[in-house]
A and B are shown apart, each in its own frame.
Chain A
Amino acid sequence: MSGPAGPSKQMILHLYHSALRSSRSFSSYNFRNYFIRRTQDTFRSIQAETDPSKVATMYSDAMKELVVLRRSAIVNQLYGGWKLAVEEPAPKDEDILTRSDS
């Protein structure tokens, strides 16, 4: 799949891991799920690509996107907003264990 300059399978998998991890760290439900889906689609298309030079450009594009993704995830963690109704709700007061002396 890879020529002398092309990315190895391992490098692509590591990039996939990092990209998925960044996508998961978005705090807004819509952004988070969109970027997870987008990352999955991007890497499926890399997997389906047979031309090594195209794989190399797709890899470097995904690499550049990872930088943007990380930065946006951090900003989104700061300004993420509230949880949506479709998300798992925050634990109720009675479910949170508290110390008996507090």
Chain B
Amino acid sequence: MSFLRLAARPATFSRPFLNVYYSQRQLPARWYSAASGLTKEAIENRVLSVFKGFEKVKAEQLVPSASFKNLGLDSLDAVEVVMAVEEEFSIEIPDEAADEMETVEQVIKYISETPEAH
């Protein structure tokens, strides 16, 4: 019993000390789990450059609000575009999410809501 109490003592001492330590000093830390530093503009530029890589897409019609249909892409092309976006951002877009994508803006929105995208 007594040795248990001894073992417990340092822990009770160190806790308030640690609290002070953490609150007063800013520890250098990297938040690996934090959201990636992708800004909205960066995402938009990269998504648009993916679209530019497709021959069928006319550059002058390429704006974020444009739908796949207006850009001259049919449903099979849309799948290819989604795959290219997946490759660009190193993610996998599930079929359910890919089905709902109809405009460039929706793709940008999905990427900005996906923390794994980088």
Contact = CB atoms under 8 A, between A and B. Distances in A.
B76 A44 contact: yes
Interface stretch (A10-18, A62-70, A79-87): A10-18
Interface residues of A, number: 13
Contacts, number: 27
B98 interface: yes
Contacts of A17: 79, 82-83, 95, 98
Interface string B28-50: 00000000000000000000000
Chain A binding surface, main DSSP class: helix
B99 interface: yes
Interface string A19-61: 0110010000000000000001001100100000000000000
A43 B83 CA distance: 15
A71 interface: no
Contact of B75 (A13, A20, A24): A13
Interface of A: 9-10, 13-14, 16-17, 20-21, 24, 40, 43-44, 47
15 contacts: A10-B99, A13-B75, A13-B76, A13-B95, A13-B99, A16-B79, A17-B79, A17-B82, A20-B79, A20-B80, A20-B83, A24-B83, A43-B76, A44-B76, A47-B74
